[in-house]
Amino acid sequence: MDLIANHGRRVSVEELNTSKLLAHASRQAKERKFEDVMIVDVDAHHYENEHFGEILPYMDNEVFKQLALASRAKGGRGSVAPSVFGFQDIGGRVTRYPLRDSEQAGKGYQRDIEIGHRWMDAMGVDYSCLFPTGMLNIGSHPQVEMEYELTWAYNRWVTEKVIPESNGRFFTMLGLPMSDPEGALKQVETFGDRKGVRGFMITAVRPNLPVHDNRLMKVYRAIEERGLALSFHSGFNWTDKQFQSCNRFIAAHALGFSWYNILHCTNWVVNGMGERFPKLPVIWIEAGLAWVPFVMQRIDHEYMLRPSECPLLKKKPSDYMRDMYYSTQPMEIQDMGALEDTFRMINAETQLMYASDYPHWDFDLPSTIWDLPFVTEKARHNILGGNAARVLGLPPRNEAQKKNLERFGNLKA
Amino acid sequence: MAEQFVAKASEFQNGDRQIIRVGEDEIGIFKHEGKYYAYSNFCLHQGGPACEGLTIAGVKEKLRDDKTSVGLYFDENSMHFVCPWHGYEYDMFSGEQVADRRLKLKKYNVVQKGDEVYVVA
């Protein structure tokens, strides 16, 4: 395969084979004996837009289904879901983007399962929470009805096709149509008990969503009653007003992923959602970790001056934040001292969950956690999989993993 | 240290690279404008195959005297190779990570004997 470099110069590289590309990850997993450690990746992705031909027929409303199917019939030029533009592949430097189509694998959703298992096996990952990619921006859809229909169709497809055939290794936290609280509730009630559903997800690229809106309380209650988790999966949208001055992708991407979780986490905390739903595990995903100490300090500071605006709180905002969970990726590891402080501030040993974000450009391997110089053995095991096993009810896959889960108090399934 | 055969010089074209295994190590050997460069194939970031990705000139930004920007351009005097996992970018001539030149890949000597290219490892 040829990639395009400067001035159209062609550079030959091998066609994509995920197992081969990640051969060094396999070596790391073997060297660290990851087979004995239950590793749960709470954030991995597939490209569901490659399967809209399979997904759209699951839409419920015949009018919107016809609109979507007809749009795709235009030689594939039509777009049914909002998308964001960007340069994740860094001009082809991250080769799995341009080479993606060259990988030999099955067809349809089977392809996603097969390729998914390749990266999981290479990294030593036992379970992955499979999230979509393009549909992380579903909150930008101007039509509430279409937002509902597309999430409904994806949620049916992924729970009826992809998850059941993944040998139990993929699980999901399904996206909800948050612009339609009644519709979101219906989807929790419909899909909440399906196999492999460990929670529901709010696509965080929703700058106008008040997560504390009274109309959403029934949705959170329904998730909590089922013993499931609620996650906020962040993202970026370069065209959002606050990022329109950014002339480089790096700025829109770095700020965007942090910003949307900062926004929703702040509203979640100051409105006392932790008091309203104390048994609801809340997981903040793909915003990295550096934003958390900032928000903790900032809100605690103002809370001491303005408690009258947060009358539901019975402790400091940062205490509620320490009750919640955070996914690791993309873990800012440039200043080890700052990272160590972050781990201390969020009680990482019990609240942090490993995430790869594979196959996206800034993925993290399990070794990023395992090799940290300041974490205890217990913290290593907990972060890589024990915390997720305990909170999401995932079972070990072998005896050694079972012993390790028992040893650190994480064996729940 | 021993000389490890890499390739026939006559078959090793400019712009190509070879990856060889020496015990547990992997070495990437590039041929760029008639010269050979060899580095460890383990990226300093997360251990990716540093030498197996795109080769591309470095990007620079030109400023006028008044500090306004003229724009971005490829520096044709440079050449980088890029780890395909995350885009860690290395200087072909030195093995330095271009965002932080304190970080350097292990460099190997390359020798040509007749039509045969060897790396010393």
Closest CA to A64 of A174, A162, A177, A227: A177
Cβ contacts (< 8 Å) between B74 and chain A: which residues? 6-7
Domain parsing of chain A, residue ranges? 23-407
Report the distance separating Cα A205 and Cα A202, nearest Å. Answer: 9
CA dihedral (A81, A87, A90, A92) positive or negative: positive
> Phi and psi of A412, rounded to 5°?
-125, -10
User: What does the pLDDT read at residue A75?
Assistant: 66
What tokens were used for B3?
């000389």
Of A6, A9, A94, the CB nearest to B84: A94
Q: Which residues of chain A lie closer than 8 angstroms to B87, CB-CB?
A: 90, 93-94, 361
- pLDDT category of residue A179 using cuts at 50, 70 and 90: very high
List pLDDT tens digits, range A97-141: 999 999 999 999 999 999 999 999 999 999 999 999 999 999 999
**Chain B residue numbers touching A91 (CB-CB < 8 A):** 56
- Is residue A279 over pLDDT 90? yes
Nearest CA in chain B to A97: B84
- Is the CB of B54 less than 8 angstroms away from the CB of A21? no
Chain B contacts to A (CB-CB under 8 A):
15-16, 42, 46-49, 52-57, 74, 76, 82, 84-87, 89
Domains and CATH numbers, chain B: 3-120 (2.102.10.10)
Q: Do A6 and B74 touch (CB under 8 A)?
A: yes
* Identity of the residue in A11, A362, A365 whose CB atom sits nearest the CB atom of B55: A11
* Cα distance between residue B22 and residue B3, in whole Å: 10
Which band of pLDDT confidence, cut at 50, 70 and 90, is reported for residue A276? Answer: very high
What are A190-206's pLDDT values in tens digits? 999 999 999 999 999 99
User: Of chain A residues 346-385, which have a CB less than 8 A from chain B?
Assistant: 361-365, 367-368
Q: Does A24 touch chain B (CB under 8 A)?
A: yes
Chain A residues whose beta carbon lies within 8 Å of the beta carbon of residue B54: 3, 5, 11, 13, 92-93, 95
pLDDT in tens, A240-275: 999 999 999 999 999 999 999 999 999 999 999 999
Interface contact B52-A94, CB threshold 8 A: no
Nearest to A5 among B55, B84, B85 (CB): B55
Residue B57 Cα, gap to closest chain A Cα (Å): 6
Q: What is the pLDDT of residues B69-100, one digit of tens each?
A: 999 999 999 999 999 999 999 999 999 999 99
Q: Is A21 on the interface with B (CB under 8 A)?
A: yes
What integer pLDDT is reported at residue A74 of this predicted model?
65
Residues of A in contact with B82 (CB under 8 A): 90, 93
Task: Give the C-alpha separation, B83 to B101, whole Å.
Answer: 16
Which of the four CATH numbers 3.40.30.10, 3.40.50.2020, 3.40.190.10, 3.20.20.140 does domain A23-407 have? 3.20.20.140
Q: How far apart are alpha carbons A260 and B68 in whole angstroms?
A: 32
For residues B45 and B53, what is the distance between their CA atoms, to the nearest angstrom?
A: 15
Instruction: Say if the Cβ atoms of A95 and B46 lie within 8 Å.
Output: no
What's the complex ipTM? 0.96
Q: Do B46 and A364 touch (CB under 8 A)?
A: yes
Interface test with A, best of B45, B56, B77, B102 (most A CBs within 10 A): B56
Written as one letter, the residue type at A262 is I
> A394 to chain B nearest CA, in Å?
27
Looking at residue B35, its pLDDT comes to 97
B50 CA: distance to closest CA in chain A (Å): 10
Task: Compare CB distances from B49 to A3, A6, A24 and report the shortest one's residue.
Answer: A24
Is the previous residue joined to A395 through a cis bond, with omega within 30 degrees of 0? no
**Is A95 at the interface with chain B, CB within 8 A?**
yes
CB–CB of B30/B36 below 8 Å?
A: yes
Please, how many CA atoms are within 13 Å of residue A337, restricted to the half-sphere of its CB? 0
